[in-house]
Structures are given as structure tokens and as C-alpha cells.
Structure 1
Amino acid sequence: MSTSAFKIYCPSLTEYKRREARVVNIGDLPLGGSYPIRVQSMTTVDTMDTMGSVEETLRMVEAGCEYVRITAPSMKEAQNLLEIKKELRKRGCEVPLIADIHFTPNAAELAARIVEKVRVNPGNYVDKKKFQVLEYTDAEYQAEIERIRERFRPLVQICKEYGTAMRIGTNHGSLSDRILSRYGDTPLGMVESALEFLRICEDENYYNVVLSMKASNTQVMVQAYRLLVQKLAAEGLQPYPLHLGVTEAGEAEDGRIKSAVGIGTLLEDGLGDTVRVSLTEPPEAEAPVARMLIDRYTNRAAEAKPIMPLAADATNRAKLSGISEAQEQNIPIDPFQYHRRHSHEVLNLGGQNVPRVLADISRLPQLEYADLRCVGHLYSAFLDKFQMNDLGADFIYTGQRPVPFMLPNGLKELVDYSAWLDGGKREDHYPVLTQSEYAVAAAKHPEANFVFHNLESLTTAALEQLRLDRTAVVILYTDNAHAMPEIRRAFFRLMNFGITNPVIINRQYPEQAPEQTQLYAATDVGGLLLDGLGDGVVLSTEKLPDADQATWLQRLDSLNQLSFGILQAARTRMSKTEYISCPSCGRTLFDLPETTAMIRRRTDHLKGVKIGIMGCIVNGPGEMADADYGYVGVGRGKIALYRGQEVIKKSVPEEAAVDELINLIREDGRWVEPVKLEEQVGA
């Protein structure tokens, strides 16, 4: 088998085919196989509050949850699951319940006799994380595996006896010191952490298992799930169902975008059997987002147009000895490790530049200085000058109507090719050409020419023309319902033919609910960015009938913010503060939504700083592995503050904790005073 065959991680990269997982029975609602992709969430009420847990569960079910998870951090909470279940059944609610276990095997063993499924985290079910660097010989490491086996086997046997399902749920931030010592803080470490427990299950002939690989970092999360699927197949293990989720995604628009980037990328390739969207909001807000992500694939296979197979590129490339055209040498990316596609620089696109944002304002009924606020460029009439905020677009496309005034410094304008010719081929305007215009164009801009292409138009002749033109920038689009895979396939074609021109990803959406556009764009563009594909993004919407200036400006502002949000969620361009906040549960020691909003109000101007906000120590220093600073509940009214994974202050009164967090950031020289909008523009 060639090394390229190891890149296979999904049924198809060009057709929509859902991975056929083993069926796992969870109460009366099976998971996997050909059953629908299920929606689930987790309660936030204290598990000892029986009636509160019941009422919240009923609201979640009403919102669309098909499974409900409840934390059981100790024996008393595990026992009270029985009372919650009795009350739910008395009220006619048959939703399967899942017990969430971390550090307490005895609580898991009790809960497995009560509920339909238990979730265990292999990073802390047996091991206690101390952030120590350990060294093991092979014999010592195997002895640790045997120790885990003896502690884990009783739960497996109970689950077998009671017909209880299990999720082995790895979290990026809670890998054990032992795993980190051998595999590092990597997707491979996440996968091996789960497989150690899974092999024990298979040795006991227990197969009612679901797997998850959660991380707040979307790149790590997607790579880990892909590697898990590949490893299961390579080891001849069962194709277990996958529970998809981005942990600690956050709140509001940022949380939804990050969730869609991670979850949507996997759904596009047919991976995933149940979805939990983790938002720092009431749990009933999560299910509709998950459902919107899932429903996009209900008719995907029927609606999708055929995509050129990967083997088509091989006919014009050098053959590798012993590998047929249909094998995976035509996948020019590593799906398990981030590498950005090599491109040469044109203007400030490609090369080592961060991905750029292009705003399509060509449909605005009119354009005045103040209107550029919608793309992040604020005009002060008092000073007669522009100020760009952190979400300032890099390019604007004005189509047939060039801007009639001087643009702010650094903002570049693209116009249609005919408008560029009619305007005297101005050097401060960059032409946008259709592929047919580009093929015969006698006049071109000396620095940059933007060319629309889709997969179909990337013929051998077109590819050769691009190769010879160092000024060409490709704007890649599709009208295929299976959009992300077709654009990815176009990237593969460019890469397989050695084309290094920068590429801007173009997605246009019909008039639909703003949240749909938010989730769909995050999936389509984010999935490509996670694979290192794309030097820029332009999002647009179909022409709104009867839309006035204010409506268009609002829509453009939303799309511009969405573009930057996707780049940030994919970890390719940091333009604002990032909040890694857990979704709350019965372990939470403070009001997470309120606290998160308060911290955001005071710190959301700290560009590129990552702040973890965790409700308890279980979701503490480990789960916020990516954060620069951490705010963690350690007791009622008590907060621990972290720098990275190091606790700096252990028991800060909650009322003083935000001020102390800011002081910590200030000590590190990363604090800047917020600038009011009127000061930005000198009003």
C-alpha cells in the first residue's frame, strides 16, 4: 500500500456519501447506520435539582434535542439521575439520558445502571492530570495500559449487562500526562487516548460505543476526527458512530461560526452521526443550530452535480511506480496536519500574507464616504479622513460603478474588465475578468488581474495560461449544491498542475435567514481554510428585490463581519479577541453567559488575545489549552486566574476577578486601552 493511501478518511472527496457507521442502540433511539444524524445537548442545572433538571430537559426536547446529557460528578448526582428519569417518564418524556463522567469511575458504574448511555473522558477517567512531563519505557507504558484495563473493565461489563451505550469522548485539553509524554499535544494523541479504551471494549466484546474528538481549535478537531476514522479502518476496528462537536465554542455569532467551521467540515465529507453544538447560552438554544447544520445534507446527494473525479488529473502527471491513476496521489494535501497551499504573491495576496477579505459592494444603490463603514472603514467628516477598524476589508468590488471619491489608504478597488477599459485602464483599479474575457484579453493590468474560474473552466489550456501569468488572481466559485467539495476539487486541480497563483474563495448565497448564511458560509469557506486552501474570501448574496440603501448596508456589514469571523474560527487570521468559553452544565460555579458577556464588554478590543472562561475545574486549564489567559470557577464565588495552563491566582473573589484578569493582561504588556468609536473617527 502506498503512503498516499493513508490519506483516505471518508467515503468520497467528490460525492456526498455518508460514512456507514455501526448501529449503536441508545434507549429506543438508535444511532449510526442509515438512521438520521441525531441532535443532542447538555443540561446546565445542578443535577441535584431534580425538578429544575426535568424542566430544562423538557425545554431541550421541545427545542429538538433527541438525547440529553446530564453531569454526574459524584455518586450523589449519579444516584439522582434515577429521580430525574422517573419524573421525565412520568411526564411522558422518553428521551434517552446520558450521564457525563470525568473523574469518578464509581459514579459511572452507578449511572450505567440507570441511564441509556454514559460518557467517559479517557484523559481523566483513571489518570489525574498534573501537567507533569513523564518518561516511560515500553514495559512501563504497557503496565499503565493494564492498570487502565483493570479500572475500566467493570464499567464495560456493567454496560454490557444493562444494555447501556457508552461514548468515549476525548477532549484536546484533557489528554493525560501519560499520553502527552508519548504522542504530544497532537491529534494523534487524542486518537490514541480513545483507542486505548476502545481496544479494551473490543477485548470484552462490547461494541455499543460512540466516539468523539473534541477541541476548541477547529484545525485540531477536524484533523483528529479524520485521523480517528483512518485509524479505525487501518486497525480493522468497527466503524463506530461519531459524535461531532467543537468544545468551548463560545457564544452568539462567534460560537455559531466556530461550530460550523468544525462540525460542517466533517459533515461535508459524510462524517458524523450525532451533533452537539456547544454554546455559552441556554441549552435549548443549541439544538436549532445543530439541526440547521444537519438539515443541509438531507437531500445533498440528490441535489449535487457530479464532480470531476480525482483520477482525471493523473493522466497528465508523471506516474508513480505501482500506483494506479485512481489512487490517492491526486490528493495534494495532508488531511491530518495543517499546511497552507504554496502560492506566489500578487499585491498583498498569497505568499506569506494572511487571507484577505474582499467585499462585494457592487449592488449598493449608491455609495458615499460614510457607506464604507459597512466594510470596516470609518469616515470622519470633521477630519475628512478614514480610520480602519480591525474588521476593515482589504478589497472592494464595485463592478460597473467605480467609487467616485478617493479611497482610504490601503483599500484596493476591483472593477469589471469593461469598466476598467472604459475608465482608461487606471492603475489604481484592478480588473475582474470572466474566464472567456481573460482568455483573449489584449490589455491587462501590469500588477494584478482577477479572473473568475470554476472547476469546469479550469481546462488544460486555462491552467497553462494561469501558469504563465504571474499577475493573475483566481476568484474560485461554484453553483454546485455540493459546494465545498467542488471548490476543494478545483484547488486540487490547481495544485496537481503546479499552479501557484493566489486564489480567493467566492460563495454567493440566496436570500435566506441570516443564521443560515452564517452557518453555510462558515462550513463552505472554513472547511477549505482548515486544509490550507484559500488566500482570500468574498461572500455575497443574491440581489434583494426592493432593498433600500440601509438594508444593503446592513447586509454588507454582516457579510464583512462574517468573513473575518470565519478566518478567525479557522485560525488563519486573528482580527479580534477570541473567547474559549464552555457551554455550562450542572458543575458550573457561576453564571457563565452573564460572566462571559461582562468579560467580553471589557476585553473585546484585545486583538488576537485568547481568553478561556470555564465554569469549573473539570473544564479548567486542560480544556482551555489554547487560551492565553483563563478565568476558572474553583468554588462558589471563587475564581482561579491562569496564564496559559499555569494558575497565577488561586482564589479570587468573583466580584474582583475581572479586574484581576485585566491586571494580569496588563502585567504581560498585552493590554491596550479601548478606543471609543467617536475617538476613532475624530467626531
Structure 2
Amino acid sequence: MNKQYCPSLTEYKRRVARVVNIGGVPLGGDYPIRVQSMTTVDTMDTLGSVEQTLRMVEAGCELVRITAPSVKEAQNLLEIKKQLRARGCNVPLIADIHFTPNAAELAARIVEKVRVNPGNYADKKKFEEINYTDASYAAEVERIRERFRPLVKICKQYGTAMRIGTNHGSLSDRILSRYGDTPLGMVESALEFLRLCEEENYYDVVLSMKASNTQVMVQAYRLLVQKLDEEGLQPYPLHLGVTEAGEAEDGRIKSAVGIGTLLEDGLGDTVRVSLTEAPEHEAPVARMLINRYTSRAALAQPIKPLVGEEPINPFQYYRRHTHEVANFGGLNVPRVVADLSRLPQLEYADLRAAGHLYSPFLDKFQMSDLGADYIYTGERPVPFMLPNGLREIVNYPAWVDGGRRPEQYPLMTADRYMADAHPNTSLVNHPQLNFLLLTLDALDAPLLERLRQDPTVVLVLHSLNAHAMPEMRRAFFELINHGITCPVLLDHDYPAQAAEQTQLDAATDLGGLLIDGLGDGIVLGTSRLPADYTQAQWLDTIDSLNQLSFGILQAARTRMSKTEYISCPSCGRTLFDLQETTAMIRKRTDHLKGIKIGIMGCIVNGPGEMADADYGYVGVGKGKIALYRGQEVIKKAVPEERAVDELIELMREDGKWIEKEVVGEPMGV
């Protein structure tokens, strides 16, 4: 099996894509990775669209997309473009097309680029036919090709670029019948259209493989690159994005897990971050993701080259096989460790930063859904009894000197661990669970052999390399190739910087490993933060890092600890206020651990885009909402003022609803 999907797994090299010129902004090749976003104003509101576009450009957008759901909106793109040019704004415009080929053909004569979705551009999504024969399948493909060919010719004539953008949730019934709801189906959906473009000698094409599920999204882009090479097709530029990422911290983390994972391997030529926020908020996030790679090759330290084939399948998720050590590895969910080692002092109430809330009045702890499984205290073990279920990691000398208390486990260096392998030593380890801190360079033959024979070790894998994710991945490859099955805790820390930057960096570095099934837990360390933080600053920092750890695990689909909202970023088709509605639904449902709720502004971004949601809330008309259970519409045209109550009632019928527990503020906190 050909697993090659990027220039290098150990050296930062950007994939060299064919250059596509979009209204004077070249994409691909050695040109910078471009930032883009999409307007949310009704396309028929010319002034509103112009003003919002200007704000987006000021925020950093180099390309601006505007929806054109019908011919009238496509025609109004001309007026929007005229007014933008009159105001000195020459940003290239992209028309977003879904169901209407005639709107695409008109828009292609006006704007610099059109985006088509092969899942619903002249294809069927009525599920009238499930079992296609080879003949009926081929006939349907030919019908679609003939419907698509005029657009290709117009784009070629006018010098208009095109994005063929597959979405995981909007694959046609024909593709689903043959390939299922898979990354391969997504890729094939785009390749059908791309092959026709090449037949017509039209090459100004950009490709995307978007999904709300980050695992599916990453696998689809990788598979696309592999298939382009396998079929001898042009190396077209890639537009990266996670659909319906959501809002605030969750939306940023989810976007970084998907987009950042691909950027790490040199894939991607333009980025759009899809947040349920004003579009001018998206460009700075995209820029923060991209900027990490402007000097990556120069800053990165060499990584030991991989010998032989990559030992994992990059196109399908499998969690690395591990044996169970305490509650790590095996079938256990990935664990979260909160680093409290640099707190000046530690009291009961301070454990709230790790998600454990203490009430002096009740004299007991309450753990939240984001309660850390372990705390790391370094050289200063806690001076009190820990709440039930919480365990402590301390440095080896402190563990020995402190009397090796129950629920307390040692962290060792590689030197100390290997010293115990020599005869006549008096050193002792914990009989059930020991943590071993190491980097890739420490994995020599004697250590690997010792690990193979030790059932008590959890590795704490760390990297100081600017190219940290690939170096840590390379360490996993070493373990897999040597048959080492001990669990691995991903350890990384970041300097004092904007909280948003740490969110993006950590979600990229650690999420990129979890996406491939590598890692049995996370610890976001504090060693690079200033020593002069106050107690309050340390507690706030630890609290945010703890929440970030759980957010990364959720975004990578490896541990669901809270409600997930798959909410679209809004556009001119949206039929209600997405930000306000998302906030309202979140307020009522954010206690439903592990439930996925899709919130879509219109039927175009409806059941398809929320492909793996448990429930859906979709705008179908002015003031009217359709409610879904999975992909099935259950209630149609529900008045908007009753829709959230009806959604909750649907969950209640399914036995998924629980009442929100009202908890007062813990006293003394």
C-alpha cells in the first residue's frame, strides 16, 4: 500500500503545488499560504456585503468568498465588485455555489473564482436509488460531466479559477452507495470533476476535503494527495478547513487540530477557519496558524530519518496498541495530567484549577467533567489527602523521601531508570506504575529492551524541537517498530504568549498525534512560564491549560468530556442569528456530556454538514426550524421560539436528556 502523502515525515518541507492565479493573487508553489474567509451578510445587501468585505480585508483576508445560491445573488456579485473597486479594494472574490449550475456559470463571468461542491452540483441527493449497477453509475457520472462541462469552459474562457470543494456531509447518494461515508468517497467525488477539468485542459483548480470530524478531514486530504500522485494528475493547491468548527476556544482548538496537522506535514496553500463568529475574527486565527511555518525549516532540529515504511495507516484511524498500566493504555480513554509543580503553595481550594472543587462547608470535593486524572507536583508533594480518584505524580527523589504514599507515583529520568537495571543497586520503583520522561534521542537499544520487559512504565514523551509533532511521531514509530506497547503520555509546554496562540499551538502539536491514534494522555507543562507569576496567575494558567487538554482530546475525537456543537460559520443564506442561537442552545445543553448537536443556518448547510451529529437544529424558512435525529428530519417547520424546547423534548424521548444540576459556588474558593 502506498502511504506517501507528504514530502517528508521528519523534515519540514512544503508540498510544491501547481500555481493558480486568483485575480492577481497567486496560490501554490513557493507563494505564501493565503488567508481567506466568507461574508455572512445577505448577498442582496450590496452595501452590507461591501462594508463587511472591507472589514475582512483589514483583518487580513486575501481572498473573500460570497454565497450565490441563485441567479439573482450571482448577478449582484457584479454590483458588489464594482463598489469594492470604486473604494480601492481589489481583493479577489469567490462565488460559493451549491445546487445551481446556472448561478455558477453566471458568477464565473464576474468573479475571480467559483467554488462548487461536487456532492450537490448537478448530482442527486434524493436517495431514490441505492444499489447502482456499473452501467447506471457510469451513466450518472456522464450526465453530471455534461452538466459540469459548460462551467469549465466558461472558467477557462474568462480566466476564472475554481475550487472543487468536497464536504464530508454532502456526498451524493451515488457516491455513498459505492464508497460509503468515507474519506475515499470524498476524494472520488472530487476526482470525477477534476478528471473532466484536465480533459478540457483547464488547470486553474484548487481542491478541498472538508469535514467537521477532524479525523475524517485529515485522512481525506492525505488520501487526496496520494491519489493525485497515483493517477498522475497535477499537484493542485489545497484549501484547508474544518467545517462547522464552532465558536470561541472550542472552535479554535478544533480548527487547529485539523488544519495544523496538515500544515505540519507541509500540506496546504490557503486556509479558512470556520468560526461561528463575525468573519473578520477568522482571518487572525488563520494567520496565527500559518505563521508558525514561515521559519519552521530554519528553526527545526534534524530528526532521525525513518527507515522503511510508515508503520501506521495515515488514511484510517487506529489507536496504537498498548498494554494497560493502571488506568493508562489498553481500552482506557486518554488521561489528563495537570502540572501544579510550580505553584508557590498548594491548598485544598487550589485543586479547582485541576477541575476538583473543594467546599470547606461540606468538607468534600466535587469533580467537574474537566477534572484532571492526575496532578504533577514535581519536588513538592501535596501536604494533604487528595480527593477520591485523583492521583499524584512526583519526581523520583521526592517520591522516595516522602515515603511513597498511596496514590502517588514516581517520575524518573532515563538515566535513573536505566541505573536500576544494573545489579547491586538499592533503587526501587513503584510495583504498579512508574512514569519515565524521555525524548526521541533517549530511545536506544538498551532502553527499548528494558521497556519491552517492564509492564509498569508509562512513557512521558517530550520534545524541545521546533518541529515537535513530527519528532514525537518519529518516537512512536520507533516504539511500534520495536514492538513496545507501553502507554505514552504526550508532554509539551509553551512560553508566555497569548492564550489563543497556546491553544492553536498545543492543538496542532498534540492533536496531530492523537488524530493518528498516538498518545494515551496529555500533560501541558509550565516549565517555560515566568517564575514570578503570582499564586492567582498560576491558578488561572493551570485552569486554562487543564481545559485546553480536555478540548484537544475532544477535538481529536479521542475523549468526549463535554457537549459538542457543530455550528456553521454563517453566510448570506443563514435564516437566523447563528451566534445568538448557538449561545442559547449551549446555555440549555452544555451539561450533556458527549452529545453532538449540529446548528445550521440553512438547509444547504443542514443535515449534510452535520454528518455525525446526534441532533440537528436547521433553519428551513423565516422563523422556522427543522429538528433532526442524526440524518433524519423528525420535526419540520417548528416555530423558532419553540425550537429549543422541542429539541430538548426530542432528547428526552430518546432517553438522552438529563436535568442540569444546580451547584452553588464552592465556599472558600
Matched, 1:226 2:211: no
Matched, 1:471 2:456: yes
Q: Which residue of 334, 357, 360 corresponds with 2:339? A: 360
Matched, 1:372 2:351: yes
Q: Secondary structure at the match of 2:275?
A: coil
Q: Secondary structure at the match of 1:612?
A: strand
Q: Which residue of 460, 466, 475 corresponds with 1:481? A: 466
Q: What is the CA-CA distance between 1:310 and the residue it aligns to?
A: 0.5
* Distance in structure 1 (CA, Å) of the matches to 2:209 and 2:488: 31
* Distance in structure 2 (CA, Å) of the matches to 1:678 and 1:84: 52
What 5-or-longer segments of structure 2 have no aligned partner? 421-426
Match of 1:536 in 2: 521
Cα deviation digits, residues 464-487 of structure 1 (max 9, x gap):
111111101100000000000000
Q: What is the CA-CA distance between 1:681 and the residue it aligns to?
A: 8.4
Matched AA of 2:610? M
Q: Which residue of 202, 208, 213 corresponds with 2:204? A: 208
* Distance in structure 2 (CA, Å) of the matches to 1:344 and 1:154: 57
TM-score (normalised: structure 2) = 0.98
Cα deviation digits, residues 215-268 of structure 1 (max 9, x gap):
000000000000000000000000000000000000000000000000000000
Matched AA of 2:43? T
Q: Secondary structure at the match of 2:617?
A: strand
Contact 1:386 1:681 survives alignment (8 Å): no
Q: What is the CA-CA distance between 1:132 and the residue it aligns to?
A: 4.8
Q: Which residue of 393, 397, 405 corresponds with 1:418? A: 397
Matched, 1:110 2:96: no
Q: Which residue of 58, 64, 74 corresponds with 1:78? A: 74
Q: What is the CA-CA distance between 1:680 and the residue it aligns to?
A: 8.1
Q: Secondary structure at the match of 1:142?
A: helix
Q: Which residue of 364, 371, 374 corresponds with 1:392? A: 371
Matched AA of 2:609? E
Matched, 1:642 2:636: no
Q: Which residue of 533, 536, 542 corresponds with 1:547? A: 533
Contact 1:455 1:490 survives alignment (8 Å): yes
* Distance in structure 1 (CA, Å) of the matches to 2:665 and 2:561: 20
Contact 1:363 1:543 survives alignment (8 Å): no
Matched AA of 1:407? L
Q: What is the CA-CA distance between 1:543 and the residue it aligns to?
A: 3.2
Structure 1 residues 261, 206: closer, same or farther in 2, change over 3 A? same
Q: What is the CA-CA distance between 1:447 and the residue it aligns to?
A: 0.5
* Distance in structure 1 (CA, Å) of the matches to 2:128 and 2:553: 34
Matched AA of 1:468? Q
Aligned length: 662
Match of 2:11 in 1: 15
Q: What is the CA-CA distance between 1:425 and the residue it aligns to?
A: 2.8
* Distance in structure 1 (CA, Å) of the matches to 2:481 and 2:662: 49
Matched, 1:52 2:31: no
TM-score (normalised: structure 1) = 0.96
Q: What is the CA-CA distance between 1:682 and the residue it aligns to?
A: 12
* Distance in structure 1 (CA, Å) of the matches to 2:431 and 2:406: 8
Match of 1:321 in 2: none
Q: Secondary structure at the match of 2:643?
A: helix
Q: Which residue of 488, 493, 503 corresponds with 1:503? A: 488
Q: Which residue of 611, 618, 622 corresponds with 1:625? A: 611
Contact 1:383 1:682 survives alignment (8 Å): no
Q: What is the CA-CA distance between 1:127 and the residue it aligns to?
A: 1.7
Identical aligned residues as a percent:
79
Match of 1:575 in 2: 561
Matched, 1:526 2:511: yes
Match of 1:148 in 2: 144
Q: Which residue of 615, 640, 650 corresponds with 1:654? A: 640
Q: Secondary structure at the match of 1:473?
A: strand
Cα deviation digits, residues 608-660 of structure 1 (max 9, x gap):
00000000000001110110000000011111111111111110111111111
- After superposing the two structures, state which structure 1 stretch, 602-611 or 432-441, moved more: 432-441
* Distance in structure 2 (CA, Å) of the matches to 1:251 and 1:596: 9
Matched AA of 2:303? I
Contact 1:378 1:681 survives alignment (8 Å): no
Contact 1:396 1:412 survives alignment (8 Å): yes
Cα deviation digits, residues 534-587 of structure 1 (max 9, x gap):
001000232324211111000000000000000000000000000000000000
Match of 1:592 in 2: 578
Alpha-carbon RMSD: 1.1
Q: Secondary structure at the match of 2:14?
A: coil
* Distance in structure 1 (CA, Å) of the matches to 2:91 and 2:529: 43
Match of 1:381 in 2: 360
Matched AA of 2:143? R
Matched AA of 2:629? R
What 5-or-longer segments of structure 1 have no aligned partner? 312-326
- After superposing the two structures, state which structure 1 stretch, 371-380 or 164-173, moved more: 371-380
Matched, 1:338 2:317: yes
- Map 1:155-234 to 2 at 5 A: 155-234=151-230
Q: Secondary structure at the match of 1:611?
A: strand
Matched, 1:557 2:543: yes
* Distance in structure 1 (CA, Å) of the matches to 2:251 and 2:283: 13
* Distance in structure 2 (CA, Å) of the matches to 1:668 and 1:300: 49
Match of 2:291 in 1: 295
Matched AA of 1:358? V
Matched AA of 1:551? Q
* Distance in structure 2 (CA, Å) of the matches to 1:268 and 1:411: 34
* Distance in structure 1 (CA, Å) of the matches to 2:406 and 2:391: 11
Matched, 1:30 2:26: yes
Q: Secondary structure at the match of 2:21?
A: coil
Q: Secondary structure at the match of 1:634?
A: strand
Cα deviation digits, residues 160-190 of structure 1 (max 9, x gap):
0000000000000000000000000000000
Contact 1:22 1:32 survives alignment (8 Å): yes
Q: What is the CA-CA distance between 1:677 and the residue it aligns to?
A: 2.8
